[in-house]
């Protein structure tokens, strides 16, 4: 039988915990936590940070991106593409979008880069481009799932290319 929970009673219980009338929900150890912090004295040089590699947010594009402009968050174009691609298959993540406008000798391009993490050791990286097609780098053993993802991404790219206002929606602020 399902228990009927009164929202008012639950709110009262939560507020009493917050105000400290009830026992703490999280138990903490009495032992202090000590971190190893290097000691510096006046005049010491700071540690060299030039060779420190910053954490990377996703795979690098599988196509050259020279001359392209990277769309930064919270750009609505990036959000639109991320939402559409995320709907193809659960877990597909767009990590970067680059645009290059149409010129006299270039037809305009969008490069979309992202990944689908299958598990701790396996993932599928992708780059999609109007002018260069699609490239995939996979460590996944699940070929059926991989083909489904590839076909979905390729289909999205074709649909995006066929949008009537793609040029004015995606290249409006990119210098020619």
pLDDT digits over 32-77, tens only?
Answer: 555 455 565 666 555 444 433 333 566 788 888 888 888 887 888 8
- Structure token pair of residue 106: 């270039």
Asked whether the predicted pLDDT for residue 3 surpasses 80, the reply is no
- The verdict on residue 7 lying in a domain is no
H/E run at residue 134: strand 133-138
| Domain carrying residue 92 | 69-170
- The verdict on residue 62 lying in a domain is no
Residue whose C-alpha is closest to residue 108's, from 54, 169, 50, 47? 169
Alpha carbons 88 and 108: distance in angstroms, whole number: 25
- The verdict on residue 134 lying in a domain is yes
The burial of 113, by beta-carbon neighbours within 10 Å (0-12 exposed, 13-18 middle, 19 or more buried), is given as: buried
- The verdict on residue 1 lying in a domain is no
Neighbours of 57 (CB within 10 A): 8
CA angle 138, 142, 144 (to 5 degrees): 105
Min mean pLDDT across 1-10, 81-90, 123-132 is at 1-10
Alpha carbons 170 and 113: distance in angstroms, whole number: 16
In the chain, the number of structural domains is 1
- The verdict on residue 122 lying in a domain is yes
pLDDT value at position 55? 36
Residue whose C-alpha is closest to residue 92's, from 101, 100, 83, 104? 83
Partners of 12 in the beta sheet? Answer: none
- The verdict on residue 35 lying in a domain is no
- The verdict on residue 43 lying in a domain is no
Q: Can you list the alpha helix ranges (DSSP code H) found in 51-109?
A: 76-86
- The verdict on residue 139 lying in a domain is yes
Q: At a CB cut-off of 8 Å and minimum separation 6, what does 82 contact?
A: 93, 94
């Amino acid at each position: 039988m399902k228990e009927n929970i009164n929202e008012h009673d639950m709110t009262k219980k939560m507020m009493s915990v917050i105000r400290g009338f009830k026992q703490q929900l999280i138990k903490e150890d009495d032992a202090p936590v000590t971190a190893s912090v290097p000691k510096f004295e006046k005049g010491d040089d700071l540690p060299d940070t030039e060779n420190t590699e910053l954490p990377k947010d996703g795979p690098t594009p599988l196509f050259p991106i020279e001359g392209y402009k990277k769309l930064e968050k919270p750009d609505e174009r990036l959000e639109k593409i991320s939402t559409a691609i995320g709907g193809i298959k659960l877990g597909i993540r767009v990590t970067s979008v680059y645009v290059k406008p149409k010129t006299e000798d270039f037809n305009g391009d969008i490069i979309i880069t992202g990944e689908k993490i299958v598990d701790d050791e396996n993932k599928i990286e992708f780059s999609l481009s109007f002018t260069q097609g699609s490239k995939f780098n996979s460590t996944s053993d699940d070929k059926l799932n991989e083909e489904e993802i590839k076909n979905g991404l390729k289909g999205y790219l074709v649909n995006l290319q066929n949008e009537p206002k793609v040029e004015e929606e995606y290249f409006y602020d990119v210098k020619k």
